[in-house]
Structure 1
Amino acid sequence: MFAAQLTQQLIDFIRSLREQGILDDRFDQIKELEDENPGLVVEVLTVAIRSADFTIDELEKKLSGTVIYYSKVRELTHKLKGISAR
């Protein structure tokens, strides 16, 4: 009973993320691969979140300096965009 409730909550949560545009077809592709590699979704999301977190920290440092090097800011924002597109 409890497992069924958790499963339904997960389905509803994933549906909500799709409706918000947070998840797309790439999530489905990774999810299909998870049959062969359990934990793949968690691993991919963990790496992406850590990478995004590090990039945001670097971006904050570059933007809070006395002199702003826009080429580096552009590079970091491009990297962040790439992370979110994976």
Structure 2
Amino acid sequence: MLDEPGHVVSPAIQIRRTRRIPAMKADEELSPAKVYLLVPASRINSVVSESEMARIDSACEKRRPKRRSSKVLPTETEGSSDKVEEV
């Protein structure tokens, strides 16, 4: 915030949830897995337009990790086998 006077950092997830622009406190830490926006301080608590929401959604989609299809296969453990022992 020192590099950009007159601007605030706002978490995109809160904007998507409330449709308003909240300001983060100066001592709050940023998380590497989240999307943040740098907005003019005059926009704090203002309503976000539909076109702005579309751009925010697009930015969030780009940051979302792609899901991989994974399969869990049974593992063979000691003592488990398909053989039947006769006594």
TM range (shorter): under 0.3
TM-score, length-normalised on structure 1? 0.27
> Quick check: which one's strand share is greater?
2
Give the greater-gyration-radius structure (CA): 2
More helix by share: 1
TM-score by length of 2: 0.26
Select the structure with the greater relative contact order (CA < 8 A; seq sep ≥ 6).
2
